[in-house]
Structures are given as structure tokens and as C-alpha cells.
């Protein structure tokens, strides 16, 4: 059996869109599954819309995803000679011809066809004229598309699709400025690169009969085609900028793991039994193009987050720490103490992305300068001052700063004041983290470290005492306090 050679052929006119990333992934998986070769071709013939920056971002995105290509990258912009030479070959073999019809004439023909209700097409005026180009003439090269019979696409994903040649135009293959057109350069490249399987978005399905005719004209065996459905927005529409998850690099910046993005993209439109979470090597093992669905799939941000979380949970803490550190540092937060690995271990079940982890873990590394106002109003009250002070003093004396011992002190204070766990835990949490969500309060304090814990308890007490309280005598004889300007609850 011959070697499978697939390719990914992006046009560098923008970010690597999540839909294109999935196309790349399926091509890559197919090659890896069959121990074949995955090649990369940058389709940058459109000099106006292609940018070096977009090429750079595409390469960076593929690298981040781990979709490594084999062989040298092919840049179409460097192959003009080859395309011209192949176009000459088609002219010599009677499969292409020069056309010098003026734009005005083409427009007249088109307008007439429209008036007559005929599908606009070149009327093939120059097809048999054997025009020779002269230096000053504005000629293009057109392909002699067969006039009758059908073109059949036997697609790995879409099944059999048949097109009538009578519907197809004599398409321009080289423009008057000598640049090749998409359908032509693609076929020349597939042949030159030895591509055996063309896996791409189904927005290209309509180009395929034209390309198949070109393959035949070159006398080249057809590759196998697989046109995969588009990815739609969560609302089932074409993906747009507003969907916010467009670029692969944006996912990286939002703290997604590449293996999770790969997993999620693979599952969009492809399935293997009812398995949801795959390692990359499992995807390679199970990938079968016949299991790609034909209908478009919609992005589901919640599921993408969930998939990411499943991979985060499996990530070795050391690796997670390494990855998260970059996010902390880029926010100007040093994370020498406590160890990021330890913080990750206690936080990971509540984090969807690395960024989420960082946002939820800042208080381990930064002073708490502000309290969430609702939490502070509810929990940092005058009644809790004494228990907080006692807790602070007893914690100062703990010999071994471990969660178990912290817990013992905590219980001691609860018993001393006859209060329930939450009555003390929530104010302490607000003091230590600024809010009401954290891992167990004992382990949180262990990780924050004694010195900071004591300082934060003192700061909370000072904060409470600095507020203006009004004392209200309750009928039963106990006092209660409420803030001036707020109503007692
Ligand atoms: N360059 C085309 C695109 O980015 C893909 C062409 C192909 O895969 O044949 O849409």
C-alpha cells in the first residue's frame, strides 16, 4: 500500500480560525493514523490579502496545538514558475487555451445571459481560436473543461456527489498578470506534493469537480477527497468575530490546554462510541474518517470548558505549575511561595482553564487589599471581632503550621464561643481571600502561610473596627450592631 500523504493548506489572510484548526486536525489525524505524512502548504498567492503576520500566527497556532507537519512548508508565492510551466503543459496537450476577451465583452455576455435567465458562464469564444500571446496583449489562460458527461466526487465524508460538466465553466487558470488561480495552483500542488488524501472544509466541495477535471487533464490519479462540515456558532450561525472563540491563539491566551482543544475539536463532528475524553494518542488510534458526521456542528463553549477541565484534572501538577506560572508572571505576580503545584492541587476541581485558576488563586500570592463588599458586609461584623482575635493569637502559637493543627485551633475557638463552623469560617475566608470561595479554610491558611494569615486577620479586625457601628439593644437583652446607614438584619 502506498504511503498516505495529507495536507493542510491555509490561506494566510487572518487568524487560524477554530474551524480551520479542526480541518488541520482531521488531516493530521488521518496521516498519523495511517503512519503517513502530513504536509503544510501556505496558499499565499493573493498578495493583497495574505500577510506575513497571518502566516506567523497560523504556524504558531499549529505548533501550540502540536500538529507538527512533515517536510518543508510549501509557499505558493514561491512557485509561480512551476504554475506557469504546468499551464504551458496544458496548452501543449490541448487542455487549455489563451483567451483575449476584453472585460467589456465578458460583461456584455454575462448581462445577456442574465437577461435570458441562463447561468452566467464564459461563452468559450476563444476555445478553438489558437490565440498566441503577444507581449502587449492582455491574455488569460483558460482550462478546456469537458463539454459533456458528469464528474463524480466519491467523498469519504459526503458520499457520492455528481456534477454535470455542462454546468462548469472554462475556468481561468492563469490571470493576465500571470498569477495562478486557486483551483489550478491547488491541483498543481497536490500532484507535485504527492497528496493522496485531500481533507478540507466542505465549503470547497463545489471546487472539487473543477479540480478533478484538471487532475484528469494532467493524467494524474485522483486523490481521495474528504469534505468536512463547517463549525457553526453556538446559535447555529456561521462563526463570526462576536463568538469570541475564533482564533486558536485566543484559546491559548484564555488558558486552554492544547490537548483539550484537540479533544474538543475532534469530538465536534467525529465520534468513537460514546467516549468523550481522549488523549491525542487515543485519537490517533481510533480516528476513522468514516465516523465524521455530514452535518455541521455548533460550538458549545460550556462543553469546551468542561473538556478543558477534564484535561486539567489529569495534568501532572508540575506541568500545571509550569504553565500557570507564565500566566501569573504576565500579570506581574511572582509565585515563589506557596508552591504553585500545591495550590493547583487544591484548586483544580473548581477551575475550568488555567486563566480561571490564576484568577481564583491570586490571593495566595498577593495581599488582600479589598473585600467583596457583599461578603464583607455580611461576614465582617463586630460580633466576630473577638473570635477573630483569639484565632489570630492562638494561630501565632501553633508549633507546626499544618492544616491539621490549624483545624484544631479552629475547633477550639468554635467551642469557646459556641458558634457553628460557618459562622467563623466565612469571616476568616473573607479576611484571607477577599471573598467567600476557597478550598477548605484550613488548607487555604496552611498554603497562605502563617505570617500572611496573621496579618490578614489583623487587617480584617482593623477594617471592622474602623467602620461606624451603632449599637442596638435587642429586647432579649443582648446587643447587636449594625452599620450606620444600613438597616439591621
Ligand atoms: N486555502 C484554502 C482555504 O484556506 C484551502 C484550500 C484547500 O484546502 O484546498 O480555504
The CA-based diameter of the chain, rounded to the nearest angstrom, is 111
- Evaluate: CB of 40 within 6 angstroms of ligand 1: no
- Evaluate: CB of 347 within 6 angstroms of ligand 1: no
Residue range 380-408: mean pLDDT, rounded:
97
Residue range 459-464: mean pLDDT, rounded:
97
Q: Which three cell numbers stand for residue 412?
A: 477550639
Residue range 430-457: mean pLDDT, rounded:
98
Sign for the CA dihedral angle at 304, 306, 310, 315 comes to positive
Sign for the CA dihedral angle at 80, 81, 86, 88 comes to positive
Judge whether 410 and 424 are in contact, CB under 8 Å.
yes
Mean pLDDT, rounded, of the chain: 94
Task: Kindly give the distance from the C-alpha atom of residue 11 to the centroid of ligand 1, in angstroms, as a whole number.
Answer: 6
Instruction: Round to whole Å and give the CA distance between 351 and 438.
Output: 11
Instruction: Round to whole Å and give the CA distance between 251 and 245.
Output: 7
Q: Which residues are catalytic?
A: 241
What ligand 1 atom has the least distance to the C-alpha of 201?
8
Order across the sheet with 74-75: list the strands: 74-75, 37-42, 5-8, 197-201, 224-228, 150-155, 159-164
Using alpha carbons, select from 76, 352, 289 the residue that is nearest to residue 189. Answer: 76
Mutation probe of ligand 1 site: the residue of 17, 22, 204, 205 with most atoms within 8 A of C-beta: 204
- Evaluate: CB of 200 within 6 angstroms of ligand 1: yes
Judge whether 430 and 371 are in contact, CB under 8 Å.
yes
Asked whether the predicted pLDDT for residue 245 surpasses 80, the reply is: no
pLDDT digits 0-9 by tens, 330-365: 999 999 999 999 999 999 999 999 999 999 999 999
Judge whether 233 and 244 are in contact, CB under 8 Å.
no
Eight-class DSSP state of 228: E
Domains in the chain, start-ordered, CATH in brackets? Answer: 5-232 (3.40.50.620), 369-489 (1.10.10.350)
- Evaluate: CB of 186 within 6 angstroms of ligand 1: yes
The pLDDT of residue 137: 72
What ligand 1 atom has the least distance to the C-alpha of 200?
8
Residue appearing with cell numbers 488524501: 197
What ligand 1 atom has the least distance to the C-alpha of 203?
10
- Sequence-distant (6+) residues with CB within 8 A of 394 are 409, 412, 413
Task: Kindly give the distance from the C-alpha atom of residue 119 to the centroid of ligand 1, in angstroms, as a whole number.
Answer: 25
Asked whether the predicted pLDDT for residue 312 surpasses 90, the reply is: yes
Residue range 220-243: mean pLDDT, rounded:
87
- Evaluate: CB of 448 within 6 angstroms of ligand 1: no
Atom 6 (ligand 1) nearest CA: 9
For helices 421-433 and 441-448, the axis angle rounded to 10 degrees is 30
Asked whether the predicted pLDDT for residue 481 surpasses 50, the reply is: yes
- Evaluate: CB of 10 within 6 angstroms of ligand 1: yes
Amino acid at each position: 500500500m502506498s504511503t498516505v500523504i495529507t495536507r493542510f493548506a491555509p490561506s494566510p489572510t487572518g487568524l487560524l480560525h477554530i474551524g480551520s484548526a479542526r480541518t488541520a486536525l482531521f488531516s493530521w489525524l488521518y496521516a498519523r493514523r495511517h503512519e503517513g505524512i502530513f504536509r503544510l502548504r501556505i496558499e499565499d498567492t493573493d498578495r493583497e490579502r495574505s500577510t506575513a503576520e497571518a502566516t506567523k500566527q497560523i504556524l504558531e497556532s499549529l505548533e501550540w496545538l502540536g500538529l507538527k507537519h512533515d517536510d518543508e512548508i510549501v509557499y505558493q508565492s514561491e512557485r509561480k514558475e512551476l504554475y506557469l510551466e504546468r499551464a504551458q503543459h496544458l496548452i501543449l496537450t490541448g487542455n487549455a487555451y489563451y483567451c483575449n476577451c476584453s472585460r467589456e465583452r465578458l460583461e456584455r455576455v454575462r448581462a445577456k445571459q442574465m437577461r435570458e435567465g441562463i447561468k452566467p458562464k464564459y461563452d468559450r469564444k476563444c476555445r478553438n481560436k489558437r490565440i498566441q500571446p503577444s507581449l502587449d496583449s492582455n491574455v488569460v489562460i483558460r482550462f478546456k473543461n469537458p463539454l459533456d458527461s458528469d464528474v463524480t466526487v466519491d467523498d469519504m465524508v459526503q458520499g457520492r456527489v455528481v456534477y454535470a460538466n455542462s454546468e462548469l465553466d472554462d475556468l481561468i487558470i492563469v490571470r493576465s498578470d500571470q498569477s495562478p488561480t486557486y483551483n489550478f495552483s491547488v491541483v498543481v500542488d497536490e500532484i507535485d506534493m504527492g497528496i493522496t488524501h485531500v481533507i478540507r472544509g466542505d465549503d470547497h466541495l463545489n471546487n472539487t469537480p473543477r479540480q478533478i477535471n484538471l487532475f484528469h487533464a494532467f493524467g494524474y490519479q485522483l486523490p481521495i477527497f474528504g469534505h468536512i462540515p463547517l463549525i457553526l456558532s453556538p446559535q447555529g450561525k456561521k462563526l463570526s468575530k462576536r463568538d469570541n472563540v475564533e482564533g486558536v491563539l485566543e484559546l491559548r491566551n484564555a488558558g486552554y490546554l492544547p490537548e483539550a482543544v484537540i479533544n474538543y475539536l475532534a469530538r465536534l463532528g467525529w465520534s468513537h462510541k460514546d467516549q468523550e475524553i481522549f488523549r491525542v494518542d487515543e485519537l490517533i488510534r481510533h480516528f476513522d474518517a468514516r465516523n465524521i458526521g455530514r452535518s455541521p456542528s455548533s460550538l458549545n463553549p460550556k462543553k469546551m470548558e468542561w473538556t478543558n477541565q477534564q484535561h486539567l484534572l489529569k495534568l501532572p501538577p508540575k506541568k500545571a505549575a509550569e504553565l500557570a506560572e507564565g500566566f501569573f508572571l504576565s500579570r506581574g505576580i511572582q509565585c515563589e511561595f506557596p508552591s504553585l503545584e500545591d495550590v493547583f492541587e487544591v484548586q483544580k476541581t473548581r477551575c475550568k482553564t488555567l486563566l480561571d485558576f490564576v484568577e481564583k488563586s491570586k490571593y495566595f500570592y498577593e495581599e488582600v487589599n479589598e473585600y467583596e463588599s457583599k461578603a464583607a458586609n455580611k461576614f465582617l461584623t463586630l460580633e466576630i471581632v473577638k473570635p477573630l482575635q483569639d484565632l489570630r493569637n492562638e494561630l501565632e502559637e501553633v508549633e507546626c503550621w499544618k492544616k491539621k493543627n490549624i483545624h484544631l485551633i479552629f475547633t477550639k475557638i468554635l467551642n469557646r464561643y459556641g458558634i457553628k463552623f460557618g459562622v467563623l469560617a466565612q469571616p476568616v475566608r473573607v479576611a484571607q481571600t477577599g471573598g467567600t470561595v476557597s478550598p477548605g479554610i484550613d488548607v487555604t491558611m496552611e498554603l497562605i502561610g502563617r505570617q500572611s494569615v496573621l496579618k490578614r486577620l489583623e487587617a480584617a479586625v482593623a477594617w471592622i473596627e474602623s467602620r461606624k457601628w451603632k449599637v442596638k439593644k435587642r429586647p432579649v437583652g443582648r446587643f447587636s450592631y449594625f452599620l450606620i446607614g444600613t438597616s439591621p438584619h
